[in-house]
Amino acid sequence: MPGCRYGVARESWEVPFLAVPEEVGALRRILRLHLTHWGLPEVVESAELCVSELVANVITHVGEGVPTTFRLGIRDTCVRIEVGDPDARSLPAPVAAGIDAEHGRGLALLDAVADRWGVVLREDCKITWCELATGLGMPTGHTGGRRVDRGEVVIGHYKDTVNPEVVSPLLGVALAEEAAVDVIADLLHWIRAHGRDPDAVLERAQAHYETTLGGSG
């Protein structure tokens, strides 16, 4: 994948919460929003599963209602999820539990879903973390394959032509979005000037986008 000219800002995010089952749904929703905003919808399902299992592990083995922290960030090119709890005495471990086992299945599942996971012990807390591969080539890069790469080339060429004074090597996504709007508008003018129907073309483009969503070609 070529270098991403229009970097995606992915700032770490942390929130305290009480380890109760009712909080899991809210954490999953916030997680989904952040990952979608980061342009990483492909890892949402696995990330939601990981956070559910990490919180369930705290509830089961540390105690329901204990003060806990959830942190989401990017480490190198991986999504990193951390759940901190006040029990610094013990290390969790995956267990190959049977189907009727009440405990231990969560971290075994985490072991299967995450690319790697581990535990950091501190004086007053324990942080259990996991990482999920994203397919990014760099922390501020993009996914999406050749279609996104081609779109970035078009946007970059347009910006270089219309606003050549903008020379930043890493332009913001907001700036690129404005350029994309200008590109689409200019193309619609071109279509109208050549006797075609801009609305019909937009409908076809939207349908084509939806049918190829998730593809890399």
CATH number at residue 10: 3.30.565.10
User: In the 8-state DSSP scheme, what is residue 199?
Assistant: H
**Alpha carbon 152 to its chain's center:** 19
User: Which one is predicted more confidently, 146 or 200?
Assistant: 200
Structural domain tally of the chain? 2
Sheet of 67-75: strand order equals 13-18, 67-75, 78-85, 126-133, 116-121
Q: What would the two tokens of residue 144 be?
A: 């999406």
The answer to whether residues 82 and 171 belong to one domain is no
Of 133, 159, 189, the one marking the end of a domain is 133
Q: Is the pLDDT of residue 164 over 50?
A: yes
Residue 147 CB coordination number (10 Å): 14
Residue 137: name the closest of 148, 129, 127 by CA. Answer: 148
Q: Is 1 contained in some domain?
A: no
User: Which one is predicted more confidently, 167 or 213?
Assistant: 213
Comparing 56-65, 118-127, 161-170, 198-207, the range with the smallest average pLDDT is: 161-170
Residue 113: name the closest of 99, 129, 98, 130 by CA. Answer: 130
Residue 130 CB coordination number (10 Å): 25
139 in Cβ contact with 76 (< 8 Å): yes
User: Which one is predicted more confidently, 8 or 96?
Assistant: 8
How does residue 30 score in pLDDT terms, banded at 50, 70 and 90?
very high
The pLDDT value given to residue 155: 79
**85-131 pLDDT per residue, tens:** 999 887 765 544 443 343 444 578 888 899 999 999 988 899 999 99
User: Which one is predicted more confidently, 145 or 184?
Assistant: 184
* H runs (alpha helix) in 123-216: 145-162, 173-193, 198-212
For the ranges 73-77, 108-112, 212-216, the maximum mean pLDDT occurs at 73-77
The answer to whether residues 35 and 112 belong to one domain is yes
**d(Cα 128, Cα 14) in Å, to the nearest integer?**
14
Helical (H) or strand (E) element with 36? helix 21-37
User: Which one is predicted more confidently, 216 or 154?
Assistant: 154
Distant-in-sequence, close-in-space partners of 156: CB < 8 Å, separation ≥ 6 = 5, 6
For the chain, what is the mean pLDDT? Answer: 83
Distant-in-sequence, close-in-space partners of 166: CB < 8 Å, separation ≥ 6 = 159, 175
Q: What would the two tokens of residue 34 be?
A: 């952040």
The answer to whether residues 81 and 121 belong to one domain is yes
The pLDDT value given to residue 178: 83
The answer to whether residues 149 and 174 belong to one domain is yes
The answer to whether residues 163 and 111 belong to one domain is no
Q: Is 138 contained in some domain?
A: no
Of 89, 113, 133, the one marking the end of a domain is 133
Backbone φ, ψ for residue 66 (5° rounding): -70, 150
Of 71, 104, 133, the one marking the end of a domain is 133
Angle at 18 between CA 13 and CA 19, to 5 degrees: 100
Residue 153: domain span: 145-212
